[in-house]
Chains A and B, each alone.
Chain A
Amino acid sequence: MWTGDYFYLVRKLVIKDFTIRYRHMSLGIFWSLLNPLVMMAVWTYVFTTIFRNSIPHFPLHILSGVITFNFFTVAWQSATTSVLDNAGLIKRNPFRREVIPIASILSNVPHLLIQLGLLVVFVFIGGLGMNIHWLWLPVVWGLELLCLIGLGLACSAIYVVVRDMRYIVESINLVLFWVVPIVYSFDMVPERMRPLYQFNPIAALILATHNIVLQGRSPSTILLAKLAAVSVISMVLGLIIFRRVERKFYEYL
Chain B
Amino acid sequence: MSLISVQGVSKIFRHRKQKSLLRDHLRDMVSQSSNQEEGFYALRDVSFTVQAEEAVALIGANGAGKSTMLALVSGLAEPDTGSIQVNGTIAPLLELGSGFHPDLTGRENLIMNAAILGLNEKQTKERFQAILDFSELADFIDEPLRTYSSGMVLRLAFSIATHCDPSILIIDEILGVGDSNFQGKCQHRIEGLRKEGKTFLVVSHSTYTVRNFCNRAIWLHHGVVVADGPANEVADAYEAFMVDPSQPLPGNLIREAPPEAPVTVAAKGRRQRRSDR
Chain A residues within 8 Å of B, Cβ to Cβ: 1-5, 8-9, 12-13, 16, 19-20, 23-24, 86, 88-89, 91-95, 160-164, 247, 250-252
Contact = CB atoms under 8 A, between A and B. Distances in A.
B76 A3 contact: no
A4 B119 CA distance: 6
B271 to A, nearest CB: 7
A4 B94 CA distance: 18
Given A12-B112, A24-B103, A94 B75 contact: yes
A92 B20 CA distance: 21
Interface string B144-165: 0000000000000000000000
Interface string B74-102: 11111000000010011010110011010
Interface centre among B13, B71, B77 (most CB of A within 10 A): B77
B14 interface: yes
Contacts of B86: 1
A250 B149 CA distance: 31
Given A5-B120, A16-B112, A92 B94 contact: yes
Contacts, number: 90
Contacts of B103: 20, 23-24
A190 B255 CA distance: 75
B121 interface: yes
A189 to B, nearest CB: 33
Q: How large is the interface on B (under 10, 10 to 19, 20 to 34, 35 or more residues)?
A: 35 or more
The 9 closest A-B pairs by CB, nearest first: A4-B118, A250-B77, A5-B120, A164-B22, A94-B75, A12-B115, A92-B95, A92-B94, A92-B98
A251 B14 contact: yes
Contacts of B20: 160-163, 252
B116 interface: yes
A251 B103 CA distance: 30
Contact of B75 (A1, A160, A164): A1
A101 B78 CA distance: 21
B76 to A, nearest CB: 6
A2 B112 contact: no
A21 B243 CA distance: 53
Contacts of B76: 91-94, 250
Given A5-B120, A250-B76, A94 B112 contact: no
27 contacts: A1-B75, A2-B75, A2-B118, A3-B89, A4-B117, A5-B115, A5-B121, A8-B115, A12-B112, A19-B108, A20-B103, A88-B99, A89-B98, A89-B116, A91-B71, A93-B76, A94-B75, A94-B92, A95-B118, A160-B20, A162-B20, A162-B21, A163-B21, A164-B22, A247-B78, A250-B71, A252-B16
A162 B22 contact: yes
